[in-house]
Structure 1
């Protein structure tokens, strides 16, 4: 089933704020909506953030801005050892492309009103993105 991500909405209930993500069923065949179902598996692609450094991508700490470090306080530092391996090991956290990956989310609690579903979890992707939903 294909859904459309309609963004987030704030609701006030008993002086508390609730934040729900809204998805909309867009297929014209409403056959599946006639049944009660409790679990959904949502597949989507996360937002692409382009080429990012190690501080944003891997949450590395920055160096001190003082004590002689003028231009390189957002660099990653050393990448490998000296002569013993003589190379950079595989899996080293380096700068690179961030985001735009396939993410799956399992949802077992949601509210429903006709074609709209209100979900308490945060969904990957942008507003008006398509979501592939599998009903379990």
Structure 2
């Protein structure tokens, strides 16, 4: 495959990665907002439903971001964003597992780790390294 063909196939994947990585960060922000409603004195069932729905959306969006990162890597970019995106995807399930009241001591720091990973991937997707290959 020539460099031009690789660049042509990488451009849509990079655009997809940018959109999906930003959406991952936005969904995580949503999770923080809905979590705040849960831990308050009047935590509602509606807030819990919204937080659970956000978790499902996070699984989907972060999984698609991981796939897009892999496609960008196949186009000649660095491998580490794929690894970080995969960790974010896997940790989203760990987060869901530890989402109960008794395990918030794991859930809250896990949310911070997810956020750092998602922001790293999103920021990298707009960098020269992502656009220009290795």
TM-score class, shorter-chain normalisation, is under 0.3
Larger relative contact order, structure 1 or 2 (CA cutoff 8 Å, min sep 6) = 1
TM-score, normalisation: structure 1: 0.22
Answer 1 or 2: which has greater helix percent. 2
TM-score, normalisation: structure 2: 0.22
